[in-house]
Amino acid sequence: MFRAQSRHKVVRVYLFDVIILVNSNSRVNTLSSAPRNQRLLVVGRDALLRKLRAEVLKTQGYSVFPATDYADALTRCKPGAYDAVLVSGEPDEQEALDFCAEVRSINPDQIVIVITRPNVYIPGDSCPDEVVENGRPTALIASVEAALA
């Protein structure tokens, strides 16, 4: 969720997955919190969405490492390397679930979060620890926090 502030009113704007605060001087500030010392691998083919998701998570104090594709991500998914792996299920959720299974074959304890399009069914017995619909940064942050709790 975005909140644009002016001298007269506060307007909430949803724009991809970025959290920004615009003050009355039109300066952009990211909302931030203390470092969490948790490492997240963010996997996705869409460069803009991958970057925006990474920025949202960085504003919450996470250390974020982007990966452009599944093959790149698999080479980096060594046990203990990341606290969680976030993978975009867009445009093919089955491919993301297959990737999830490959990650679990390397590290059975790895936390995996799949980000899907709205209204996509992910079977309850499938691999991800969390499934979040794309669109709202607050949902992404809440899913990461729940998975890491």
pLDDT score of 127: 79
Cα 67 to chain centroid, rounded: 12
Q: What pLDDT digit, counting tens, does each position of 95-139 carry?
A: 888 899 999 999 999 999 988 877 777 776 677 888 888 778 888
pLDDT score of 125: 67
| Domain boundaries defined on the chain | 33-148
Q: Is the whole model's pTM more than 0.85, yes or no?
A: no
Q: If you classify domain 33-148 with CATH, what class do you get?
A: alpha beta
Contact 133, 118 (CB under 8 A): yes
Q: What pLDDT digit, counting tens, does each position of 49-99 carry?
A: 899 999 999 999 999 999 988 999 999 999 999 999 999 987 788 888 889
Lookup result for tokens 């203390």: 34
Contact 100, 122 (CB under 8 A): no
